[in-house]
Amino acid sequence: MSFGTFFLRRMLMVIPLLVGIVFVTFMLIRVGGLDPVGRLAGPTATAEEFEMIRAELGLDQPVWVQFAIYAGKVAQGDLGESWLSNRPVLDDILERTVISLELLLWGVGIGALIGIPVGVRAAFRPDGRFDQISRILSLFGFSIPTYWLGLVMLFVFFYLLGWAPPGIGRISLMVSPPDFITGSYLIDALLTANWPAFGSAFSHMVLPVICLAIVSAAPIIKHTRAIALEVLSSDAVRYARASGLPARIVRKLVLRNSATPVLTFVGTEVTGLVGTMSLIEYVFAWGGLGQYGLNAIVRGDFTAVQGYVLSLALFSVIVFLIIDFVVFLIEPRAELQ
């Protein structure tokens, strides 16, 4: 199967998933039985005014018609308006995406750089001291509430030691942000050689990234270990040992055969960590999509919540697609699937 055919087939399979995603986000508000009309109409509205607003919002139609209207709007990129920001939700989301991606990719990237080698090393000597310590640490990492970790870090590194900035935003208020190129302060400052901005952006980034890295490393350690253990007990590795291949080559064989499942897991992990990232953004007032979404949830801005949940689901779909394509390209066996 050529890459082109595979690509087309995979894209076609996504369509029902997208419909499902739009349906779930649509239902999100309806299960609550929340009444957006009351909020829009205000406490002094008359019964007629209520009805008018209901009709305006399409709430007097049957559910499936409402869904069709909603889906049609989403397809055109109309996610409604946020009553918190008084702007189209789509605009709010688009301008915050890069800000969040920057945090997410650094955090998960560093988490993977820690987690993968630790997991592999633990698997090579199951029940050895390294394995036991890394297992306890990973279970512990699983159990730390992200937001609490962020708060403790702020206390230690800002209040006690004074090493870190106070954890408000992505750059110091005294420094003017770099000119807009990509949306990432770090990259933009680098591209425009704006060193004060780069320094400030970097120092603001350290704590949230470390937080996310710690929390994302835990599951990566656990799963990398499990995957490598599985490969280690596979026929191929047992045969490699029976053929007297040197330990170095056996190790390489294990690493290569673990690569695809580990990559798949880390990719999945990226999508799962979006929730954790949102909490970190909330604590550090990061100003990205995550903080926007949590604010919307807390304050009851449900149009924005819908847009937020929808964009996270779309992000997952895109990541899963990328993983599938990469796996197809690097796996000799992929043609069989």
The mark string for 200-219 relative to another protein (x by CB under 8 A, - otherwise) is --------------------
For the CA atoms of 166, 170, 173, 176, the dihedral, rounded to the nearest 10 degrees, stands at: 150
Binder of another protein out of 312, 323, 324, 327 (CB under 8 A): 312
The 3-state DSSP class for residue 286 equals: coil
- Closest of 130, 110, 115 to residue 224, by C-alpha: 115
Residue number with CB closer to another protein (24 or 41): 24
Residue number with CB closer to another protein (186 or 229): 229
> Which two structure tokens, joined as six digits, stand for 149?
């970790």
Q: Are 106 and 260 in contact (CB under 8 A)?
A: no
Contact between 162 and another protein per CB under 8 A: no
Map the footprint of another protein across residues 74-113, applying CB under 8 A: none
Residue number with CB closer to another protein (184 or 258): 258
Residue number with CB closer to another protein (101 or 197): 101
Q: Compute the distance between CA of residue 98 and CA of residue 142 in angstroms, rounded to an integer.
A: 27
What's the min distance (Å) between Cβ of 171 and another protein? 18
Residue showing tokens 């397809």: 75
Residue showing tokens 């049609």: 72
The 3-state DSSP class for residue 4 equals: helix
Q: Compute the distance between CA of residue 197 and CA of residue 199 in angstroms, rounded to an integer.
A: 5
Contact between 271 and another protein per CB under 8 A: yes
- CB within 8 Å of 236: residues ≥ 6 apart: 253, 257
Binder of another protein out of 313, 323, 324, 327 (CB under 8 A): 313
Binder of another protein out of 84, 297, 321, 326 (CB under 8 A): 297
Residue number with CB closer to another protein (188 or 324): 324
Q: How many chain residues bind another protein (CB under 8 A)?
A: 77
- Strand (E) positions, 116-254? none
* Window contacting another protein (CB under 8 A); options: 92-100, 184-192, 204-212, 300-308: 300-308
Contact between 326 and another protein per CB under 8 A: no
> Which two structure tokens, joined as six digits, stand for 200?
């400030």
The mark string for 8-47 relative to another protein (x by CB under 8 A, - otherwise) is --------xx--xx--x---xx-xxxx-------------
* Window contacting another protein (CB under 8 A); options: 46-54, 112-120, 187-195, 312-320: 312-320
What's the min distance (Å) between Cβ of 192 and another protein? 31
Q: Are 116 and 224 in contact (CB under 8 A)?
A: yes
- CB within 8 Å of 248: residues ≥ 6 apart: none
* Window contacting another protein (CB under 8 A); options: 41-49, 111-119, 199-207, 265-273: 265-273
